[in-house]
Structure 1
Protein backbone atom coordinates (compact mmCIF):
# COMPACT_ATOMS: atom_id res chain seq x y z
CA UNK A 1 0.00 0.00 0.00
CA UNK A 2 1.40 3.39 -1.03
CA UNK A 3 1.95 5.72 1.87
CA UNK A 4 0.05 8.99 1.54
CA UNK A 5 2.13 12.16 1.64
CA UNK A 6 1.95 14.15 4.85
CA UNK A 7 -0.42 17.12 4.97
CA UNK A 8 2.53 19.45 5.57
CA UNK A 9 4.25 18.26 2.40
CA UNK A 10 0.98 18.52 0.47
CA UNK A 11 0.52 22.10 1.61
CA UNK A 12 4.04 22.99 0.52
CA UNK A 13 3.62 21.32 -2.89
CA UNK A 14 0.28 23.03 -3.55
CA UNK A 15 1.39 26.53 -2.54
CA UNK A 16 1.88 27.47 -6.20
CA UNK A 17 -1.61 26.49 -7.37
CA UNK A 18 -3.07 29.45 -9.27
CA UNK A 19 -6.06 28.00 -11.16
CA UNK A 20 -9.06 25.91 -10.02
CA UNK A 21 -8.49 23.41 -12.86
CA UNK A 22 -5.01 22.46 -11.65
CA UNK A 23 -5.03 18.61 -11.81
CA UNK A 24 -3.38 18.41 -8.39
CA UNK A 25 -6.60 19.72 -6.85
CA UNK A 26 -8.50 16.71 -8.24
CA UNK A 27 -6.03 14.44 -6.45
CA UNK A 28 -6.45 16.44 -3.27
CA UNK A 29 -10.25 16.21 -3.56
CA UNK A 30 -9.93 12.41 -3.70
CA UNK A 31 -7.93 12.38 -0.45
CA UNK A 32 -10.47 11.47 2.23
CA UNK A 33 -8.44 12.74 5.16
CA UNK A 34 -10.12 15.60 7.03
CA UNK A 35 -6.94 17.68 6.89
CA UNK A 36 -6.73 17.22 3.12
CA UNK A 37 -10.31 18.43 2.68
CA UNK A 38 -9.62 21.46 4.88
CA UNK A 39 -6.55 22.22 2.79
CA UNK A 40 -8.64 21.95 -0.38
CA UNK A 41 -11.15 24.46 1.00
CA UNK A 42 -8.33 26.84 1.99
CA UNK A 43 -6.88 26.72 -1.52
CA UNK A 44 -10.32 27.19 -3.09
CA UNK A 45 -10.95 30.25 -0.88
CA UNK A 46 -7.55 31.67 -1.80
CA UNK A 47 -8.22 31.17 -5.51
CA UNK A 48 -11.69 32.73 -5.23
CA UNK A 49 -10.26 35.75 -3.41
CA UNK A 50 -7.55 36.15 -6.04
CA UNK A 51 -10.11 35.88 -8.85
CA UNK A 52 -12.34 38.50 -7.21
CA UNK A 53 -9.34 40.83 -6.80
CA UNK A 54 -8.38 40.33 -10.46
CA UNK A 55 -11.92 41.07 -11.65
CA UNK A 56 -12.11 44.20 -9.51
CA UNK A 57 -8.71 45.29 -10.83
CA UNK A 58 -9.80 44.77 -14.45
CA UNK A 59 -12.89 46.87 -13.72
CA UNK A 60 -10.61 49.66 -12.43
CA UNK A 61 -9.02 49.77 -15.91
CA UNK A 62 -12.42 50.56 -17.45
CA UNK A 63 -11.69 54.27 -17.99
CA UNK A 64 -8.14 53.77 -19.27
CA UNK A 65 -8.87 51.16 -21.94
CA UNK A 66 -10.73 53.36 -24.50
CA UNK A 67 -7.89 55.89 -24.40
CA UNK A 68 -5.23 53.18 -24.64
CA UNK A 69 -7.07 51.72 -27.64
CA UNK A 70 -6.47 55.07 -29.38
CA UNK A 71 -2.78 54.97 -28.48
CA UNK A 72 -3.07 57.74 -25.91
CA UNK A 73 -1.00 58.20 -22.78
CA UNK A 74 -3.25 58.41 -19.72
CA UNK A 75 -2.20 60.00 -16.43
CA UNK A 76 -4.07 59.42 -13.18
CA UNK A 77 -3.89 62.21 -10.61
CA UNK A 78 -4.80 62.24 -6.93
CA UNK A 79 -4.06 64.21 -3.78
CA UNK A 80 -3.57 63.60 -0.09
CA UNK A 81 -3.46 65.98 2.83
CA UNK A 82 -6.26 68.48 2.28
CA UNK A 83 -7.56 68.15 5.84
CA UNK A 84 -4.49 68.25 8.13
CA UNK A 85 -3.51 71.25 10.24
CA UNK A 86 0.16 70.88 9.31
CA UNK A 87 2.28 69.89 6.35
CA UNK A 88 1.75 70.36 2.62
CA UNK A 89 -0.93 69.00 0.34
CA UNK A 90 0.76 66.39 -1.87
CA UNK A 91 -0.39 65.29 -5.30
CA UNK A 92 0.87 62.64 -7.67
CA UNK A 93 0.48 62.01 -11.39
CA UNK A 94 1.11 58.48 -12.68
CA UNK A 95 1.17 57.14 -16.24
CA UNK A 96 0.63 53.38 -16.24
CA UNK A 97 1.63 51.07 -19.10
CA UNK A 98 -1.07 49.13 -20.89
CA UNK A 99 0.28 45.87 -19.47
CA UNK A 100 0.19 47.13 -15.88
CA UNK A 101 -0.59 44.17 -13.65
CA UNK A 102 -0.67 44.79 -9.91
CA UNK A 103 -4.23 43.78 -8.91
CA UNK A 104 -3.84 45.00 -5.32
CA UNK A 105 -3.50 48.62 -6.49
CA UNK A 106 -6.64 50.28 -5.13
CA UNK A 107 -7.76 53.42 -3.32
CA UNK A 108 -4.98 54.07 -0.79
CA UNK A 109 -7.58 54.57 1.98
CA UNK A 110 -8.67 50.94 1.55
CA UNK A 111 -5.13 49.64 2.06
CA UNK A 112 -3.12 49.15 5.23
CA UNK A 113 0.12 51.13 5.72
CA UNK A 114 2.11 47.92 5.12
CA UNK A 115 0.25 47.25 1.86
CA UNK A 116 0.88 50.81 0.66
CA UNK A 117 4.58 50.58 1.51
CA UNK A 118 4.84 47.28 -0.40
CA UNK A 119 2.97 48.59 -3.46
CA UNK A 120 4.82 51.93 -3.62
CA UNK A 121 8.10 50.62 -5.14
CA UNK A 122 6.19 48.20 -7.40
CA UNK A 123 4.21 51.11 -8.88
CA UNK A 124 7.39 53.15 -9.36
CA UNK A 125 9.02 50.19 -11.12
CA UNK A 126 6.14 49.50 -13.51
CA UNK A 127 4.89 53.03 -14.24
CA UNK A 128 5.97 54.80 -17.42
CA UNK A 129 6.17 58.11 -15.53
CA UNK A 130 5.57 59.34 -11.98
CA UNK A 131 5.58 62.88 -10.66
CA UNK A 132 4.90 64.61 -7.35
CA UNK A 133 3.38 68.06 -6.91
CA UNK A 134 3.48 69.84 -3.56
CA UNK A 135 1.44 72.74 -2.22
CA UNK A 136 3.23 74.18 0.82
CA UNK A 137 1.47 75.34 4.00
CA UNK A 138 2.39 78.89 2.97
CA UNK A 139 0.69 78.45 -0.43
CA UNK A 140 -2.36 76.97 1.29
CA UNK A 141 -2.56 80.02 3.57
CA UNK A 142 -2.19 82.38 0.60
CA UNK A 143 -4.76 80.96 -1.83
CA UNK A 144 -6.80 78.39 0.24
CA UNK A 145 -6.58 74.61 0.28
CA UNK A 146 -8.75 74.00 -2.79
CA UNK A 147 -6.73 76.29 -5.04
CA UNK A 148 -3.43 75.05 -3.57
CA UNK A 149 -4.48 71.48 -4.42
CA UNK A 150 -5.19 72.52 -8.03
CA UNK A 151 -1.75 74.17 -8.25
CA UNK A 152 -0.08 71.06 -6.79
CA UNK A 153 -1.91 68.84 -9.29
CA UNK A 154 -0.81 71.15 -12.11
CA UNK A 155 2.79 70.82 -10.90
CA UNK A 156 2.48 67.04 -10.81
CA UNK A 157 1.19 66.88 -14.40
CA UNK A 158 3.83 69.29 -15.71
CA UNK A 159 6.56 67.35 -13.91
CA UNK A 160 5.85 64.03 -15.62
CA UNK A 161 8.45 64.54 -18.33
CA UNK A 162 5.96 63.11 -20.83
CA UNK A 163 2.84 64.80 -22.15
CA UNK A 164 -0.30 62.73 -21.50
CA UNK A 165 -3.19 63.01 -23.93
CA UNK A 166 -5.76 62.30 -21.21
CA UNK A 167 -6.01 62.92 -17.47
CA UNK A 168 -8.16 60.96 -15.05
CA UNK A 169 -8.52 62.95 -11.86
CA UNK A 170 -10.33 62.50 -8.58
CA UNK A 171 -13.11 65.14 -8.72
CA UNK A 172 -10.90 68.17 -9.42
CA UNK A 173 -10.32 70.37 -12.45
CA UNK A 174 -6.62 70.91 -13.12
CA UNK A 175 -5.41 74.12 -14.83
CA UNK A 176 -3.61 72.41 -17.73
CA UNK A 177 -4.54 72.19 -21.41
CA UNK A 178 -5.16 68.43 -21.40
CA UNK A 179 -8.59 66.72 -21.68
CA UNK A 180 -9.74 65.54 -18.25
CA UNK A 181 -12.09 62.84 -17.02
CA UNK A 182 -13.24 63.83 -13.54
CA UNK A 183 -14.51 61.03 -11.31
CA UNK A 184 -16.10 61.14 -7.87
CA UNK A 185 -14.08 58.72 -5.73
CA UNK A 186 -11.81 58.22 -8.71
CA UNK A 187 -9.18 56.46 -6.61
CA UNK A 188 -11.61 53.54 -6.22
CA UNK A 189 -12.71 53.56 -9.87
CA UNK A 190 -9.49 54.00 -11.85
CA UNK A 191 -6.25 52.04 -11.47
CA UNK A 192 -4.27 55.09 -12.62
CA UNK A 193 -5.82 57.32 -9.96
CA UNK A 194 -5.44 54.54 -7.36
CA UNK A 195 -1.73 54.26 -8.17
CA UNK A 196 -1.40 58.05 -7.84
CA UNK A 197 -3.24 57.94 -4.49
CA UNK A 198 -0.78 55.36 -3.13
CA UNK A 199 2.29 57.27 -4.35
CA UNK A 200 1.02 60.56 -2.91
CA UNK A 201 0.05 58.98 0.42
CA UNK A 202 3.34 57.15 0.98
CA UNK A 203 5.39 60.16 -0.13
CA UNK A 204 3.52 62.45 2.26
CA UNK A 205 3.68 59.97 5.16
CA UNK A 206 7.46 59.76 4.74
CA UNK A 207 7.67 63.55 4.63
CA UNK A 208 5.62 63.92 7.81
CA UNK A 209 7.83 61.35 9.56
CA UNK A 210 10.80 63.60 8.72
CA UNK A 211 8.94 66.61 10.10
CA UNK A 212 8.29 64.62 13.27
CA UNK A 213 12.04 64.45 13.81
CA UNK A 214 12.40 68.19 13.13
CA UNK A 215 9.42 69.20 15.26
CA UNK A 216 8.92 66.60 18.01
CA UNK A 217 5.97 66.70 20.35
CA UNK A 218 3.15 66.91 17.82
CA UNK A 219 3.04 63.26 16.75
CA UNK A 220 3.45 64.03 13.04
CA UNK A 221 4.80 60.53 12.26
CA UNK A 222 1.56 59.01 13.60
CA UNK A 223 -1.08 61.62 12.76
CA UNK A 224 0.38 62.99 9.47
CA UNK A 225 -0.57 66.49 10.63
CA UNK A 226 -4.24 65.79 11.29
CA UNK A 227 -5.80 67.34 14.40
CA UNK A 228 -5.52 64.45 16.83
CA UNK A 229 -5.56 64.93 20.59
CA UNK A 230 -1.77 64.54 20.71
CA UNK A 231 -1.32 67.12 17.95
CA UNK A 232 -3.66 69.64 19.60
CA UNK A 233 -1.92 69.13 22.94
CA UNK A 234 1.40 69.79 21.20
CA UNK A 235 0.02 73.00 19.74
CA UNK A 236 -1.13 74.17 23.18
CA UNK A 237 2.20 73.33 24.80
CA UNK A 238 4.70 74.17 22.07
CA UNK A 239 2.94 76.61 19.78
CA UNK A 240 2.85 76.84 16.00
CA UNK A 241 5.65 75.49 13.78
CA UNK A 242 6.67 76.70 10.29
CA UNK A 243 4.75 73.80 8.73
CA UNK A 244 1.40 74.63 10.37
CA UNK A 245 -1.43 76.04 8.26
CA UNK A 246 -2.08 79.37 9.93
CA UNK A 247 -5.50 79.86 8.29
CA UNK A 248 -6.89 76.58 9.66
CA UNK A 249 -9.18 77.14 12.62
CA UNK A 250 -7.39 75.41 15.56
CA UNK A 251 -4.05 76.93 14.49
CA UNK A 252 -5.66 80.35 14.02
CA UNK A 253 -6.99 80.20 17.59
CA UNK A 254 -3.55 79.35 19.01
CA UNK A 255 -2.01 82.30 17.14
CA UNK A 256 -4.80 84.63 18.32
CA UNK A 257 -4.41 83.51 21.94
CA UNK A 258 -0.63 83.99 21.77
CA UNK A 259 -1.02 87.49 20.35
CA UNK A 260 -3.41 88.46 23.18
CA UNK A 261 -1.15 87.11 25.94
Structure 2
Protein backbone atom coordinates (compact mmCIF):
# COMPACT_ATOMS: atom_id res chain seq x y z
CA UNK A 1 0.00 0.00 0.00
CA UNK A 2 1.36 3.41 -0.97
CA UNK A 3 2.60 5.67 1.80
CA UNK A 4 -0.09 8.29 1.11
CA UNK A 5 -2.71 5.57 1.71
CA UNK A 6 -1.47 4.88 5.24
CA UNK A 7 -4.06 7.33 6.47
CA UNK A 8 -6.88 8.67 4.32
CA UNK A 9 -7.91 12.14 5.55
CA UNK A 10 -11.53 13.21 5.26
CA UNK A 11 -10.52 16.62 3.92
CA UNK A 12 -7.83 17.86 1.54
CA UNK A 13 -7.56 21.52 0.55
CA UNK A 14 -6.34 23.01 -2.72
CA UNK A 15 -3.24 25.20 -2.86
CA UNK A 16 -4.30 27.25 -5.87
CA UNK A 17 -6.45 30.36 -6.18
CA UNK A 18 -9.81 30.72 -7.87
CA UNK A 19 -13.37 29.45 -7.79
CA UNK A 20 -14.00 25.74 -7.50
CA UNK A 21 -15.93 23.08 -9.39
CA UNK A 22 -17.39 20.28 -7.25
CA UNK A 23 -18.20 16.66 -8.13
CA UNK A 24 -20.05 14.33 -5.74
CA UNK A 25 -20.30 10.54 -5.62
CA UNK A 26 -20.39 7.66 -3.13
CA UNK A 27 -18.99 4.20 -2.50
CA UNK A 28 -20.64 1.43 -0.53
CA UNK A 29 -24.33 2.27 -0.89
CA UNK A 30 -25.33 -1.25 -1.94
CA UNK A 31 -23.20 -3.52 0.30
CA UNK A 32 -24.71 -5.20 3.35
CA UNK A 33 -21.52 -4.72 5.39
CA UNK A 34 -19.00 -1.97 5.98
CA UNK A 35 -19.23 1.82 5.75
CA UNK A 36 -20.79 4.03 3.10
CA UNK A 37 -18.56 6.90 1.99
CA UNK A 38 -19.71 10.13 0.35
CA UNK A 39 -17.08 12.36 -1.23
CA UNK A 40 -17.16 15.82 -2.78
CA UNK A 41 -14.12 16.27 -5.03
CA UNK A 42 -13.31 19.88 -5.88
CA UNK A 43 -10.80 21.67 -8.08
CA UNK A 44 -9.77 25.12 -9.24
CA UNK A 45 -8.81 23.75 -12.66
CA UNK A 46 -11.45 21.51 -14.23
CA UNK A 47 -9.56 21.48 -17.55
CA UNK A 48 -6.46 19.98 -15.94
CA UNK A 49 -8.60 17.42 -14.12
CA UNK A 50 -10.03 16.32 -17.47
CA UNK A 51 -6.50 15.32 -18.51
CA UNK A 52 -5.74 13.27 -15.37
CA UNK A 53 -7.41 10.11 -16.66
CA UNK A 54 -10.18 9.85 -14.07
CA UNK A 55 -12.89 7.24 -14.68
CA UNK A 56 -15.75 5.82 -12.68
CA UNK A 57 -14.06 3.80 -9.91
CA UNK A 58 -16.19 0.75 -10.78
CA UNK A 59 -14.34 0.29 -14.11
CA UNK A 60 -10.90 0.64 -12.49
CA UNK A 61 -9.00 -2.05 -10.64
CA UNK A 62 -7.58 -1.51 -7.16
CA UNK A 63 -4.08 -0.58 -8.37
CA UNK A 64 -5.47 1.96 -10.85
CA UNK A 65 -7.69 3.56 -8.20
CA UNK A 66 -4.83 3.85 -5.74
CA UNK A 67 -2.54 5.35 -8.40
CA UNK A 68 -5.14 7.98 -9.32
CA UNK A 69 -5.79 8.68 -5.65
CA UNK A 70 -2.05 9.38 -5.25
CA UNK A 71 -2.28 11.85 -8.14
CA UNK A 72 -5.17 13.60 -6.37
CA UNK A 73 -3.33 13.55 -3.05
CA UNK A 74 -0.25 15.19 -4.61
CA UNK A 75 -2.05 17.70 -6.84
CA UNK A 76 -2.13 21.36 -5.73
CA UNK A 77 -5.42 21.98 -7.59
CA UNK A 78 -7.33 18.90 -6.36
CA UNK A 79 -9.15 18.70 -3.03
CA UNK A 80 -11.92 16.68 -1.46
CA UNK A 81 -14.27 16.36 1.49
CA UNK A 82 -15.46 12.90 2.62
CA UNK A 83 -18.03 11.65 5.10
CA UNK A 84 -17.64 8.07 6.34
CA UNK A 85 -20.92 6.58 7.56
CA UNK A 86 -20.26 3.45 9.61
CA UNK A 87 -22.75 0.57 9.67
CA UNK A 88 -23.66 1.69 13.21
CA UNK A 89 -24.45 5.19 11.90
CA UNK A 90 -26.66 3.70 9.19
CA UNK A 91 -28.33 1.24 11.58
CA UNK A 92 -29.24 3.97 14.08
CA UNK A 93 -30.92 6.05 11.39
CA UNK A 94 -32.67 3.31 9.44
CA UNK A 95 -33.74 1.04 12.33
CA UNK A 96 -35.07 3.63 14.78
CA UNK A 97 -38.86 3.94 15.37
CA UNK A 98 -39.05 6.96 13.06
CA UNK A 99 -36.99 5.45 10.25
CA UNK A 100 -34.83 7.63 8.03
CA UNK A 101 -34.55 6.40 4.44
CA UNK A 102 -31.19 5.67 2.85
CA UNK A 103 -31.78 8.56 0.44
CA UNK A 104 -32.24 10.95 3.36
CA UNK A 105 -29.08 9.58 4.96
CA UNK A 106 -27.31 10.31 1.67
CA UNK A 107 -28.73 13.85 1.45
CA UNK A 108 -27.52 14.58 4.98
CA UNK A 109 -24.01 13.36 4.12
CA UNK A 110 -23.94 15.51 0.97
CA UNK A 111 -24.98 18.60 2.93
CA UNK A 112 -22.17 17.90 5.39
CA UNK A 113 -19.40 17.55 2.81
CA UNK A 114 -20.47 20.60 0.79
CA UNK A 115 -20.78 22.71 3.96
CA UNK A 116 -17.28 21.67 5.00
CA UNK A 117 -15.85 22.76 1.65
CA UNK A 118 -17.61 26.13 1.66
CA UNK A 119 -16.77 26.87 5.30
CA UNK A 120 -13.09 25.95 5.03
CA UNK A 121 -12.21 27.22 1.56
CA UNK A 122 -14.43 30.33 1.47
CA UNK A 123 -14.47 30.01 -2.33
CA UNK A 124 -17.04 30.77 -4.94
CA UNK A 125 -18.53 27.76 -6.74
CA UNK A 126 -18.55 27.59 -10.54
CA UNK A 127 -20.43 24.31 -10.78
CA UNK A 128 -21.67 21.26 -8.87
CA UNK A 129 -22.00 17.88 -10.60
CA UNK A 130 -23.67 15.00 -8.78
CA UNK A 131 -24.33 11.34 -9.46
CA UNK A 132 -27.99 11.09 -8.54
CA UNK A 133 -29.64 9.23 -5.69
CA UNK A 134 -33.35 8.91 -6.42
CA UNK A 135 -35.12 11.51 -8.60
CA UNK A 136 -32.55 14.04 -9.96
CA UNK A 137 -34.95 17.00 -9.61
CA UNK A 138 -35.49 16.32 -5.89
CA UNK A 139 -31.74 15.96 -5.32
CA UNK A 140 -31.00 19.22 -7.15
CA UNK A 141 -33.73 21.05 -5.21
CA UNK A 142 -32.23 19.82 -1.93
CA UNK A 143 -28.79 21.19 -2.81
CA UNK A 144 -30.19 24.48 -4.13
CA UNK A 145 -32.31 24.97 -0.99
CA UNK A 146 -29.46 24.07 1.38
CA UNK A 147 -26.90 26.30 -0.36
CA UNK A 148 -28.56 29.47 -1.69
CA UNK A 149 -25.10 30.94 -2.35
CA UNK A 150 -24.73 28.46 -5.23
CA UNK A 151 -26.54 29.41 -8.45
CA UNK A 152 -29.12 26.66 -9.17
CA UNK A 153 -28.24 26.92 -12.86
CA UNK A 154 -24.75 25.70 -11.95
CA UNK A 155 -26.04 22.49 -10.32
CA UNK A 156 -26.20 19.36 -12.49
CA UNK A 157 -27.67 16.14 -11.07
CA UNK A 158 -27.98 13.09 -13.31
CA UNK A 159 -27.47 9.35 -13.48
CA UNK A 160 -24.09 8.02 -14.63
CA UNK A 161 -22.48 11.36 -13.75
CA UNK A 162 -19.40 9.44 -12.63
CA UNK A 163 -18.89 8.38 -16.26
CA UNK A 164 -19.71 11.80 -17.74
CA UNK A 165 -17.88 14.34 -15.58
CA UNK A 166 -14.22 13.96 -14.48
CA UNK A 167 -14.88 15.81 -11.20
CA UNK A 168 -17.49 13.19 -10.30
CA UNK A 169 -15.10 10.42 -11.35
CA UNK A 170 -12.54 11.97 -8.98
CA UNK A 171 -15.09 11.83 -6.16
CA UNK A 172 -15.86 8.21 -7.02
CA UNK A 173 -12.17 7.27 -6.82
CA UNK A 174 -11.58 8.98 -3.46
CA UNK A 175 -14.76 7.49 -1.98
CA UNK A 176 -13.90 3.97 -3.15
CA UNK A 177 -10.27 4.10 -1.95
CA UNK A 178 -11.42 5.48 1.41
CA UNK A 179 -13.95 2.66 1.81
CA UNK A 180 -11.37 0.03 0.80
CA UNK A 181 -8.94 1.28 3.46
CA UNK A 182 -11.74 1.23 6.05
CA UNK A 183 -12.54 -2.39 5.16
CA UNK A 184 -8.91 -3.48 5.29
CA UNK A 185 -8.29 -1.86 8.67
CA UNK A 186 -11.61 -2.42 10.38
CA UNK A 187 -11.19 -3.20 14.07
CA UNK A 188 -13.87 -5.59 15.29
CA UNK A 189 -15.11 -4.89 18.81
CA UNK A 190 -16.60 -8.39 18.95
CA UNK A 191 -13.82 -10.75 20.00
CA UNK A 192 -15.52 -13.83 18.50
CA UNK A 193 -15.61 -12.34 14.99
CA UNK A 194 -13.24 -13.47 12.25
CA UNK A 195 -11.77 -10.91 9.83
CA UNK A 196 -13.73 -10.03 6.69
CA UNK A 197 -12.38 -10.72 3.19
CA UNK A 198 -15.42 -10.48 0.90
CA UNK A 199 -16.75 -7.70 -1.34
CA UNK A 200 -19.70 -6.87 0.89
CA UNK A 201 -22.51 -7.26 -1.64
CA UNK A 202 -25.58 -9.47 -1.07
CA UNK A 203 -24.66 -11.46 -4.20
CA UNK A 204 -21.18 -12.27 -2.86
CA UNK A 205 -21.12 -15.80 -1.43
CA UNK A 206 -18.06 -15.06 0.74
CA UNK A 207 -19.94 -12.16 2.35
CA UNK A 208 -23.08 -14.23 2.98
CA UNK A 209 -21.12 -17.12 4.52
CA UNK A 210 -19.19 -14.69 6.72
CA UNK A 211 -22.45 -13.14 7.94
CA UNK A 212 -23.91 -16.56 8.76
CA UNK A 213 -20.81 -17.54 10.71
CA UNK A 214 -20.54 -14.18 12.50
CA UNK A 215 -24.15 -13.99 13.65
CA UNK A 216 -24.49 -14.67 17.38
CA UNK A 217 -27.95 -15.92 18.46
CA UNK A 218 -27.74 -13.89 21.68
CA UNK A 219 -25.95 -10.69 20.62
CA UNK A 220 -26.76 -10.60 16.91
CA UNK A 221 -24.48 -9.37 14.14
CA UNK A 222 -21.13 -7.61 14.62
CA UNK A 223 -21.26 -3.82 14.23
CA UNK A 224 -19.75 -4.29 10.76
CA UNK A 225 -23.15 -5.40 9.42
CA UNK A 226 -26.09 -3.23 8.32
CA UNK A 227 -28.98 -4.72 10.28
CA UNK A 228 -31.74 -3.08 8.25
CA UNK A 229 -30.80 -4.72 4.93
CA UNK A 230 -33.18 -7.47 3.77
CA UNK A 231 -30.22 -9.80 3.36
CA UNK A 232 -29.41 -9.47 7.07
CA UNK A 233 -33.01 -10.12 8.06
CA UNK A 234 -33.38 -13.18 5.82
CA UNK A 235 -30.28 -14.85 7.27
CA UNK A 236 -31.60 -14.44 10.82
CA UNK A 237 -35.13 -15.60 9.95
CA UNK A 238 -33.83 -18.68 8.16
CA UNK A 239 -31.19 -19.60 10.74
CA UNK A 240 -33.18 -18.72 13.85
CA UNK A 241 -36.92 -18.71 13.03
CA UNK A 242 -39.15 -16.79 15.44
CA UNK A 243 -41.16 -19.04 17.76
CA UNK A 244 -44.60 -18.29 19.11
CA UNK A 245 -44.08 -16.39 22.40
CA UNK A 246 -44.85 -18.35 25.57
CA UNK A 247 -47.21 -16.69 28.05
CA UNK A 248 -45.39 -15.40 31.13
CA UNK A 249 -47.24 -17.75 33.50
CA UNK A 250 -46.14 -20.73 31.42
CA UNK A 251 -42.53 -19.61 31.08
CA UNK A 252 -41.22 -22.13 33.58
CA UNK A 253 -40.72 -24.60 30.75
CA UNK A 254 -37.35 -24.37 29.03
CA UNK A 255 -37.86 -24.30 25.24
CA UNK A 256 -34.24 -25.01 24.39
CA UNK A 257 -30.74 -23.68 24.70
CA UNK A 258 -28.77 -21.20 22.61
CA UNK A 259 -25.01 -21.32 22.20
CA UNK A 260 -23.37 -17.89 22.07
CA UNK A 261 -19.89 -17.73 20.50
CA UNK A 262 -19.15 -14.59 22.47
CA UNK A 263 -20.13 -16.14 25.81
CA UNK A 264 -18.27 -19.35 24.95
CA UNK A 265 -15.08 -17.29 24.67
CA UNK A 266 -15.70 -16.25 28.25
CA UNK A 267 -16.24 -19.89 29.31
CA UNK A 268 -19.99 -19.37 29.77
CA UNK A 269 -22.16 -22.29 28.66
CA UNK A 270 -25.35 -22.41 26.66
CA UNK A 271 -28.09 -19.89 27.41
CA UNK A 272 -31.55 -21.33 28.17
CA UNK A 273 -34.59 -20.08 26.26
CA UNK A 274 -37.71 -19.86 28.43
* Band the TM-score falls in, shorter-chain normalisation: 0.5 to 0.7
Whether the 8 Å CA contact 1:135–1:151 is kept in 2: the answer is no
Q: Which residue of 1 aligns with 2:108?
A: 151
Whether the 8 Å CA contact 1:92–1:133 is kept in 2: the answer is yes
**RMSD of the TM alignment (CA)?**
2.5
1:65-100 per-residue CA deviation (whole Å, 9 max, x = no partner) reads xxxxxx742111101111100122101111123252
5+ residue gaps, structure 2: 1-17, 94-99, 134-138, 216-220, 243-257, 259-274
Matched, 1:87 2:34: yes
Number of aligned residues: 189
Q: Which residue of 2 aligns with 1:134?
A: 84
**Structure 1 stretch 169-178 or stretch 234-243: which is displaced more?**
169-178
Q: Which residue of 1 aligns with 2:184?
A: 209
Residue 138 of structure 1, CA deviation: 3.3
Structure with the larger strand share: 2
1:188-217 per-residue CA deviation (whole Å, 9 max, x = no partner) reads 111110100000000001101112777764
1:28-82 per-residue CA deviation (whole Å, 9 max, x = no partner) reads xxxxxxxxxxxxxxxxxxxxxxxxxxxxxxxxxxxxxxxxxxx742111101111
Partner of residue 120 from structure 1, selected from 55, 60, 69 = 69
Tell me, what secondary structure is at the counterpart of 2:82? strand
Of structures 1 and 2, the one scoring higher in RCO (CA 8 A, sep 6+) is 2
Q: Distance in 1 between matches of 2:205 and 2:90?
A: 23
Tell me, what secondary structure is at the counterpart of 1:159? helix
Q: Which residue of 1 aligns with 2:231?
A: 250
Cα–Cα, structure 1 residues 207 and 113, in superposed 2: closer, same or farther, change >3 Å?
same
Give me the TM-score of the superposition, normalised by structure 1. Answer: 0.64
Q: Which residue of 1 aligns with 2:214?
A: 238
Give me the TM-score of the superposition, normalised by structure 2. Answer: 0.62
Q: Which structure has the greater CA radius of gyration?
A: 1
5+ residue gaps, structure 1: 1-70
Structure with the larger helix share: 1
